[in-house]
Amino acid sequence: MEYLIGIQGPDFVLIAADNVAASSIIQMKHDYDKMFKLSEKILLLCVGEAGDTVQFAEYIQKNVQLYKMRNGYELSPAAAANFTRKNLADYLRSRTPYHVNLLLAGYDEADGPGLYYMDHLSALAKAPFAAHGYGAFLTLSILDRYYKPDLTREEAVDLLKKCLAELNKRFILNLPSFTVRLIDKDGIHDMEKLPVGPK
Amino acid sequence: MALQDVCGFLETLDDISPCTYLPSEMGYMWRTPFEFDRDSAFHFLFPPQQCRRKNRAPTLFSSAFSSLSPHQQPFHLSHGTTTLGFIFQDGVIAAADTRASCKGLICCPISQKIMPIHSHLVVNTSGSGADCMLWERILTREMRLYQLRHRKRLSVNGAAKLLSMMLHPFKGTNVCVAATLCGWDGDETQEALQSCMEIADVKEAMEHGTSVSTILNKSALGSEKMASINEQDAHALKPTVSDQNTKNVLSTFGGWSGPRVCYVCSDGLQLKGEIISVGSGSPYAYAVLDDGWRWGMTVDEAVALAREAVFRATHWDAYSGNNVDLFHITAHGWRRRDREDLKEEYYRERERKKKMIKDREKERQKREGGELAEGEGDIYSVCCR
């Protein structure tokens, strides 16, 4: 029902998430933001079971911010991803596992851009491109075909538009708009919501 | 001892950190003396986030009862209702039906689903009736404590967050609460009022003679404001905000003061929005609301829209019906409209439809009469009579 996608370039990461907040068959909100800002250059995209998403994502968010307050510097994306995975794994075999699927995207001064794929069984993988949701079945092969490790920002946005066009064409559910953000050495940039059209 | 094991008595003594209320399963089994202490004001002294027993709290007793079969519900809980809340330029409208159903039985045709929490906040509840009543009271208590401690009211979003956090430990149990918090954020100062809303409209609305509840303004400050507004007159009638970009209008509220509606669900979903409808009748209500809602509606239009939405939902949904309750919240507090029987509305609408068909009939005949004069008789005019 929900869709997340991330594409990593040589010096940026492009991420998008759909904007629908649904409750059974009703779309309750059309402009819901599924991205959580962990730090100046790290975003956590979180989908899954209704309350678990916000609860878990905010828990990680506050802990990353606490780390910064205590130590004076921010966690790197790799460290934040591993921290998130550890928490997910700890809760997995408890009485209250969190059923969430995550993408963590960030830019590190030393290591460059990073996109981390995590799922509800707390698997972690650093990937050049990744997607979550039923829409992933439709779009991963497009990403396979057209992705190059040195793609420019414009090419990445075009690739994203191709994926969203395929969703509009073949996915049974209506996902009218997507929030798009780009992370590079200058921080997090909001980009135009896709698909562009009359509101 | 066997009794001690069954109750998990020793386990509770270890649990000195104030946590949350016990899940409803406990209510059906033994209650230890220790548990009655937990119902005291000591509870919720600390915010629930500090509860380290997060994983254990709902299962504290289920581990003791693991050998017992899960408790059987005496009847299937159904969550039939229609409640809605929306914001517009002049505040918030909260409306709900009054039918409490249980599978095929109407348990109560005159239940009240909209409860005031304080002078500027009401909550629409749906889900399991008992859970809603309990959590309403818990929320009211916490809001009042916050107000006493911090000398200002908690915002609607803050209240929603608080309720969501309190309900989180019960995720996965049978607690079923879907609450819509409808209220007005911000100070009641005259300056804030003038900068945020059209006073003339409010004054007009108040003169409509709908029943003003006496419990309306708990604070003396509030009643002073009411009195001063009543005395004022000749306040320049500002033109109502027409339906422009609602985002622009919302931002003029400064982000901290203005109407708010927020949905909280016991499985954790928390949404802020402009139009929220919950319950089995909500799809029907959404259809009417989406069609008629504009930011720049007048109070009358908004009330009519809410009534119509509930009426249509009760017509199609078997689990909603009987009467409609309507609350209007502005910067001055909430006002309650008299409860209306929707059966009367149904018959009135039938009459209106009949009249409309007759009128259209007459008009068609007039037109036909004009055409016949030109010598064009057709089957249609024969069918008319």
Write out pLDDT tens, residues B168-198.
988 888 888 999 999 999 865 544 445 444 4
Query: Does the pLDDT at position B107 exceed 80?
Result: yes
Closest CA of chain A from B178, distance in Å? 11
φ and ψ of B109, to 5 deg: -85, -5
Catalytic member of B81, B82, B180, B330? B81
Low-confidence winner among A92-96, A177-181, B64-68, B91-95 (lowest mean pLDDT)? B64-68
Closest residue, chain A, to B266 (C-alpha): A51
Return the SS3 of B287.
Answer: helix
Residue B287 near residue B312, CB atoms below 8 Å? yes
* CA–CA distance, B274 with B85 (Å, rounded to integer): 8
What percentage of residues in chain A have a pLDDT greater than 70?
A: 98
Q: What is the pTM of this model?
A: 0.70
Interface mutation vs chain B, best among A2, A19, A28, most B CBs within 10 Å: A28
Instruction: Give the list of residues 6+ apart from residue B104 with CB closer than 8 angstroms, or none.
Output: none
Q: Which residues in chain B have Cβ-Cβ distances shorter than 8 Å to A55?
A: 168, 268
Give the pLDDT of residue B53.
37
Higher pLDDT, residue A136 or B244: A136
Residue with tokens 């979903």: B269
* CA–CA distance, A57 with B147 (Å, rounded to integer): 29
Q: What is the mean pLDDT of the segment spanning A22-42?
A: 91
Query: Tokens for A158?
Result: 């075009």
Residue A30 near residue A188, CB atoms below 8 Å? no
Low-confidence winner among B10-19, B104-113, B141-150, B286-295 (lowest mean pLDDT)? B10-19
Query: Does the pLDDT at position B225 exceed 60?
Result: no
Give strand pairing partners of A117.
A103, A125
Closest residue, chain B, to A52 (C-alpha): B268
B20 touches chain A (CB under 8 A): no
Tell if the CB–CB gap between A23 and B265 is shorter than 8 Å.
Answer: yes
Scanning A10-152, the segments in alpha helix (DSSP H) are 50-71, 77-92, 134-146
Q: Quick: pLDDT tens for B126-174.
A: 988 889 999 999 999 999 999 999 998 899 999 999 999 999 988 888 8
Give the pLDDT of residue B376.
53
Query: Does the pLDDT at position B35 exceed 60?
Result: no
Q: Which of B286, B133, B142, B126 is nearest to A22 (CA)?
A: B286
Residue B89 near residue B198, CB atoms below 8 Å? yes
Tell if the CB–CB gap between A51 and B171 is shorter than 8 Å.
Answer: yes
Query: Does the pLDDT at position A176 exceed 60?
Result: yes
| B42-58 burial: b if 16+ Cβ within 10 Å, else e | ebbeeebeebeebebbb
Low-confidence winner among A90-94, B77-81, B368-372 (lowest mean pLDDT)? B77-81
- Least CB-CB distance to A51: which of B59, B268, B286? B268
Tell if the CB–CB gap between A25 and B283 is shorter than 8 Å.
Answer: yes
* CA–CA distance, B132 with B128 (Å, rounded to integer): 6
Give the pLDDT of residue B287.
92
Q: Which residues in chain A have Cβ-Cβ distances shorter than 8 Å to B271?
A: 21, 28-29, 32
Interface mutation vs chain A, best among B243, B271, B277, B290, most A CBs within 10 Å: B271
Give strand pairing partners of B219.
none
Determine the straight-line distance between the first and last CA of chain A, rounded to whole angstroms.
Answer: 22
- Least CB-CB distance to A29: which of B59, B164, B273? B273
Tell if the CB–CB gap between A51 and B59 is shorter than 8 Å.
Answer: no
Give the pLDDT of residue B2.
64
Give the pLDDT of residue B72.
47
Mean pLDDT score across all residues of chain B: 71
Tell if the CB–CB gap between A21 and B270 is shorter than 8 Å.
Answer: no
Q: Quick: pLDDT tens for B275-303.
A: 999 999 889 999 999 989 999 999 999 99
Give the pLDDT of residue B157.
93
Query: Does the pLDDT at position B248 exceed 50?
Result: no
ipTM: 0.83
Residue A106 near residue A183, CB atoms below 8 Å? yes
- In A, what residues contact B, Cβ < 8 A? 21, 23, 25-26, 28-29, 32, 49-55, 91, 94-96
φ and ψ of A151, to 5 deg: -75, 150
Instruction: Check the CA dihedral B282-B283-B287-B293 and report its sign.
Output: positive
Q: Which of B121, B6, B52, B94 is nearest to B303 (CA)?
A: B94
Tell if the CB–CB gap between A28 and B54 is shorter than 8 Å.
Answer: no
Q: Quick: pLDDT tens for B349-381.
A: 899 999 999 999 999 999 988 776 665 555 555
B283 touches chain A (CB under 8 A): yes
Amino acid letter, B62? S
The H-or-E segment that residue B362 falls in is helix B342-373
Give strand pairing partners of B273.
B261
Q: Which residues in chain A have Cβ-Cβ distances shorter than 8 Å to B269?
A: 21, 23, 50-51
Tell if the CB–CB gap between B267 and A29 is shorter than 8 Å.
Answer: no
> How many CB atoms neighbour CB B139 within 10 A?
25
Query: Is B59 a known active-site residue?
Result: no
Q: Which residues in chain B have Cβ-Cβ distances shorter than 8 Å to A26?
A: 282-283, 286
Closest residue, chain B, to A33 (C-alpha): B271
Query: Tokens for B372?
Result: 């016949």
Tell if the CB–CB gap between A29 and B271 is shorter than 8 Å.
Answer: yes
Determine the straight-line distance between the first and last CA of chain B, rounded to whole angstroms.
Answer: 90
